[in-house]
């Protein structure tokens, strides 16, 4: 089933990470967790163009170092091997050796060069991988291009997530159908640049790695880097894109007439996964979207939007259906962006709370009713310039404390 998103983009309702031509996936229970899938792989039929961004934590985990080493050889990837339950972070030389061994085992299983394998891990920090279970699990992986195989992979990467995050779009380039598939995990420790999240995107577009990296870098700041759940940044996480080139379009470059269409489609894929991560924040009941206009620049608008959506006081007010716009003012007030304190407008949904920094009369009952929705929009106009930006997050609930108080036990 297809649903039109715009004149140029449609969402494929049953599509997934394996919908683009040339990709297969698999996920199995290797025993790293009690019962659920915990080891997965994405395979491309041939070496694919690739691009990646990584956590900016000072403590980058071993899998990230291995993945960066792989990509540095010829800027190509053919497989991504992923485990949950153990982050393999802050594990010293042994952890790095294990990540390289994980890469080697995957390469031998699928008869591809080691440098064409990326490695990703997510889970508890400071614990070593059980390499016997990893080795046995890799032997069980049998990638297929099927709905069930895609779901097996998607469930294998989850930790405290309650739902899978997946999306598939199609667009037309050079008269050829180009497909984008995505899968992601992330629920807590979300405050990129990147945070505790993994996101994998596949496409069959024909594009070189250099141009794919440029396209990716141009949209990651306004998508994945604009979500926050709890203000915490982790050690492991990354976004990886692979392009098989099998759609048959002319090679995409910034000079291609459909370049902006490609970039826009990639951005939409990232944005969908980012919003799904924010909505599934640990213990969350609501997705919060903050839209800032009238800032001095787009960058400053994004700073303020993320400051608001990351405020614990805003998040708890939304959870409690309390239309306390003072929490929003508080968040704006200690941002690093330029603000005219005498000329700010604030909306909660369609309801005007503040006009030119003057309180407006509104119905508490109407505001409370609006705040009971699953998606809450907060609008801000700074009346300084033309900058605009959006950020996504979630409410903060009692369950967040329960989940994180017992994460290891």
Task: Point out the residues that are catalytic.
Answer: 196
User: Which DSSP helix (H) or strand (E) runs through 209?
Assistant: helix 209-220
Judge residue 35's burial from the number of C-beta atoms within 10 Å of its C-beta, 0-12 exposed, 13-18 middle, 19 or more buried.
Answer: exposed
Query: How far apart, in whole angstroms, are the C-alpha atoms of residue 245 and residue 252?
Result: 10
Between the alpha carbon of residue 400 and those of residues 196, 198, 274, 393, 407, the distances in Å are 15, 20, 19, 14, 11
* Dihedral in degrees, nearest 10, Cα atoms 310, 316, 317, 319: 110
The answer for residues whose C-beta is within 8 angstroms of residue 156's C-beta and 6 or more apart is 27, 28, 36, 37, 38, 39, 40, 82, 83, 84
φ/ψ of 209, rounded to 5, equals: -60, -40
Query: How far apart, in whole angstroms, are the C-alpha atoms of residue 396 and residue 160?
Result: 15
Question: Which DSSP symbol is given to 119?
Answer: E
Query: How far apart, in whole angstroms, are the C-alpha atoms of residue 200 and residue 186?
Result: 12
Task: Say if CB 116 and CB 70 are below 8 A apart.
Answer: yes
Pick from 391, 338, 401: which is nearest to 192 by CA? 391
Query: How far apart, in whole angstroms, are the C-alpha atoms of residue 7 and residue 190?
Result: 33
Pick from 79, 91, 84, 101: which is nearest to 30 by CA? 84
């Amino acid at each position: 089933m297809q649903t039109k998103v715009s004149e140029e983009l449609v969402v494929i309702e049953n599509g997934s990470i394996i919908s683009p031509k040339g990709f297969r996936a698999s996920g199995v229970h290797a025993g790293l967790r009690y019962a659920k899938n915990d080891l997965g792989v994405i395979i491309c039929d041939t070496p694919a163009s690739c691009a990646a961004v990584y956590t900016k934590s000072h403590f980058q985990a071993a899998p990230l170092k291995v993945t960066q080493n792989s990509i540095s050889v010829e800027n190509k990837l053919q497989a991504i091997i992923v485990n949950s339950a153990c982050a393999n972070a802050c594990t010293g030389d042994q952890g790095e050796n294990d990540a390289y061994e994980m890469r080697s085992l995957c390469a031998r299983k699928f008869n591809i060069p080691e440098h064409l394998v990326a490695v990703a891990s997510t889970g508890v920090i400071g614990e070593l991988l059980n390499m016997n279970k990893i080795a046995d699990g890799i032997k069980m992986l049998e990638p297929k291009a099927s709905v069930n195989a895609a779901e097996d992979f998607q469930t294998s990467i989850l930790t405290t997530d309650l739902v899978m995050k997946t999306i598939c779009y199609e667009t037309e380039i050079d008269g050829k159908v180009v497909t984008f598939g995505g899968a992601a995990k992330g629920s807590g420790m979300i405050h990129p640049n990147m945070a505790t999240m993994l996101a994998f995107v596949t496409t069959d577009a024909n594009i070189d790695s250099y141009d794919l990296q440029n396209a990716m870098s141009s949209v990651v700041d306004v998508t994945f880097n604009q979500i926050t759940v709890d203000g915490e940044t982790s050690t492991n996480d990354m976004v990886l894109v692979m392009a098989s080139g099998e759609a048959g379009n002319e090679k995409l470059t910034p000079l291609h007439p459909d370049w902006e269409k490609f970039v826009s489609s990639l951005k939409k894929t990232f944005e969908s996964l980012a919003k799904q991560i924010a909505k599934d924040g640990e213990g969350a009941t609501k997705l919060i979207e903050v839209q800032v206009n009238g800032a001095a620049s787009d960058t400053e608008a994004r700073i303020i939007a993320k400051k608001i959506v990351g405020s614990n006081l805003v998040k708890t007010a939304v959870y409690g259906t309390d239309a306390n716009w003072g929490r929003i003012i508080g968040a704006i007030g200690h941002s690093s962006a330029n603000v005219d304190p005498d000329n700010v407008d604030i909306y909660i949904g369609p309801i005007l709370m503040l006009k030119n920094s003057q309180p407006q009369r509104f119905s508490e009952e109407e505001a409370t009713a609006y705040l009971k929705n699953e998606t809450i929009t907060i609008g801000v106009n700074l009346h300084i310039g033309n900058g605009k930006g959006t950020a996504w997050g979630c409410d903060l609930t009692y369950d967040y404390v329960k989940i994180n108080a017992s994460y290891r036990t």
